[in-house]
């Protein structure tokens, strides 16, 4: 019993005495705190006292595209903790090959009478994807928050990292190191955050009088393998610096550069995006643009809870400032561009 009190108190951020009052159905505890304690019991796997078992915890779906990219588990930790503190039970819905789709998860959450849904990195960010399940959520007026930029006509509250600022920071950093032959590795062409990044890089290049031909803009899957696959052509074009739309893409670029007998940052400097876990531990430690995951996650929860409780939410997209984190994968440009090895694919 003492261990249960201590674990629940730590999870919620209240005293053990407060937890005891809730479990014994005593007065003197706010409704929000009481709900948070009961939710923590459910999350930690403890049975509720008999007199409290009739109360169902409120469910909120957190829909993520994967857990392989460390940025998504980090977001899930922030959002899950913030939801529990507000008296909601987070339900993690992760997409896997051959598993449930976003539309399937939406149906499940509606059947479970969920209080709301937070999406991150979903199909809403792809302009050409099927968005029928989002429109259904709009029709039933279920509280929803989208993390990062969405396609047009999806009028949900959004919390985003400022992609334009992130791209400008990465480009400006490489330019300050003397790089002028800069390549960009992005996700799919219809991906809205990547569109914003590319527009910002092009504008920054134009202001700086630096060429950015189409041959230096490559599209790939958001994965290490995707980044590796498109690097050869960038090296053929003589790039000395590469801006990537995610950290896994950047790691793929680094792998490809090394397999071509070149070095990072000696021959090619690489900048990632996210500052996900362990990017300071890779070789070389990755220069990247950090997303403010803590602030974004908590803001998403606040916007969702405000909707659930009937409060007003802003119709404008909330943009959070990213931070350039300089490590060892970038260095001053060599006097001349590296010559591409003969085995670089055409």
Query: pLDDT by residue (tens digit) across 144-201?
Result: 999 999 999 898 999 999 999 999 999 999 999 999 999 999 999 999 999 999 999 9
Q: What is the pLDDT of residue 342?
A: 46
Q: What is the pLDDT of residue 3?
A: 79
In the predicted model, is pLDDT for residue 337 greater than 50? no
Q: What is the pLDDT of residue 336?
A: 60
Integer Cα distance of 327 and 34 in angstroms = 45
Integer Cα distance of 204 and 175 in angstroms = 10
Q: Can you tell me the mean pLDDT for 290-295? A: 97
- 316 contact partners, CB below 8 Å, separation of at least 6: none
Quote the DSSP letter at residue 222.
S
Query: pLDDT by residue (tens digit) across 36-69?
Result: 888 787 677 677 776 665 444 489 999 999 999 9
Tokens of 284: 């070389």
Residue identified by tokens 């505890």 is 29
Integer Cα distance of 195 and 187 in angstroms = 9
Query: pLDDT by residue (tens digit) across 95-114?
Result: 988 889 999 999 999 888 88
The torsion defined by the Cα of 224, 200, 235 and 251, in degrees rounded to 10, comes to -20
Which of 291, 292, 313, 294 is closest to 304 using CA atoms?
313
φ, ψ (nearest 5 deg) of residue 29: -125, 135
3-state secondary structure of 62: strand
Residue identified by tokens 């959004």 is 158
346 vs 273, residue with greater confidence: 273
Q: Provide the pLDDT confidence category of residue 346 given band limits of 50, 70 and 90.
A: very low
The order of strands in the sheet holding 269-274 is: 217-219, 182-186, 241-244, 269-274, 287-290, 323-325
Which of 208, 227, 247, 229 is closest to 327 using CA atoms?
247
Query: pLDDT by residue (tens digit) across 206-235?
Result: 999 999 999 999 999 999 999 999 999 999
Query: pLDDT by residue (tens digit) across 299-313?
Result: 999 999 999 888 888
């Amino acid at each position: 019993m003492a261990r249960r009190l201590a674990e629940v108190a730590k999870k919620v951020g209240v005293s053990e005495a407060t937890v005891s009052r809730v479990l014994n159905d005593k007065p003197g505890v706010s409704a929000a705190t009481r709900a948070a304690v009961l939710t923590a019991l459910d999350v930690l796997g403890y049975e509720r006292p008999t007199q409290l078992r009739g109360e169902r915890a409120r469910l909120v779906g957190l829909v993520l595209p994967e857990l392989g990219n460390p940025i998504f588990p980090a977001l899930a930790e922030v959002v899950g903790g913030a939801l529990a503190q507000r008296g909601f039970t987070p339900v993690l819905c992760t997409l896997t090959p051959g598993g449930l789709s976003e539309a399937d998860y939406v149906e499940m959450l509606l059947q479970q009478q969920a209080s709301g849904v937070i999406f991150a990195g979903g199909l809403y960010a792809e302009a050409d994807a099927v968005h029928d399940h989002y429109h259904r959520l709009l029709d039933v007026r279920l509280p929803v928050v989208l993390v990062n930029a969405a396609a047009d006509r999806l009028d949900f509250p959004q919390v985003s990292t400022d992609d334009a600022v992130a791209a400008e920071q990465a480009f400006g950093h490489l330019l300050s190191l003397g790089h002028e032959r800069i390549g960009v590795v992005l996700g799919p062409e219809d991906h809205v955050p990547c569109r914003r990044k590319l527009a910002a890089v092009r504008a920054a290049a134009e202001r700086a009088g630096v060429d950015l031909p189409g041959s230096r803009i490559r599209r790939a899957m958001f994965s290490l393998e995707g980044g590796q696959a498109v690097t050869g052509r960038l090296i053929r074009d003589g790039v000395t610096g590469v801006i990537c739309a995610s950290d896994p893409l950047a790691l793929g670029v680094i792998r490809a550069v090394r397999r071509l007998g070149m070095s990072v940052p000696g021959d090619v400097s690489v900048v990632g995006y996210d500052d996900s876990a362990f990017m300071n531990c890779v070789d070389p430690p990755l220069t990247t643009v950090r997303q403010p995951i803590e602030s974004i996650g908590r803001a998403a929860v606040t916007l969702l809870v405000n909707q659930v409780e009937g409060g007003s939410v802003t119709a404008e997209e909330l943009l959070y400032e990213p931070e350039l984190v300089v490590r060892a994968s970038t260095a001053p440009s060599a006097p001349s561009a590296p010559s591409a090895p003969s085995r670089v694919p055409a």
